Amino acid sequence: MLDDATPPGETTPEYRCMWCSATLPSTHETTCPSCGATLVGEGEAAVPGLTAIDADAILRNARSGGRTRPRGGRLLSWISGEYDEGEEEAAPTPGSLAPPPAEVRLEMLRLELEAQVANAQAEAEALAADSAVEGGRPLTPPPQTVEAEPGPTTEAAPAASGSDGEAPPD
């Protein structure tokens, strides 16, 4: 077909290695002179299960008989799509599908609000940085925010200068 498409005065295209794209001297090369890649295989190798039917796998499957679930249990059944229709699943415990308690919902809401505030602060800082870059001004550090909830209280540590007369530990 390629010969029909080329006009009589033109040359045929160069043959190239499919791995390194080096020009090949002829079409009869079995290995690439540049990279050493095999260009022509010894033939079609039959790979059981890929290019040929795997007779051993068919026999193993036939010998397994009535076993419908693979050895791996539920996970392998889920992955392979083989489900046992006769097996009944255990009923869920009554509290497993109940909504979370009020304390948990409040904590979830608090975390969600904190995330939204952090996103808004990051967006504001990004806009300020963009405007500073466009205006040619130096970037200033963002102002420190005060937490809405007080953190754990800590007592003042004794001064390290040795106010009680003892030297600090080394």
Evaluate whether 129 touches 123 at the Cβ level (below 8 Å): no
The better pLDDT of the pair 85, 47 is held by 47
Spatial neighbors of 119 by CB under 8 A, at least 6 apart, are none
Q: Which one, of 15, 20, 23, lies nearest residue 35 by Cα?
A: 20
Residue 94: its pLDDT value, please? 80
- In the chain, where the domains are located: 1-39, 100-135
User: What does the pLDDT look like over 44-58, one tens digit per residue?
Assistant: 677 777 777 878 888
DSSP 130: H
What is the average pLDDT score of the chain? Answer: 76
Question: Is residue 64's pLDDT more than 50?
Answer: yes
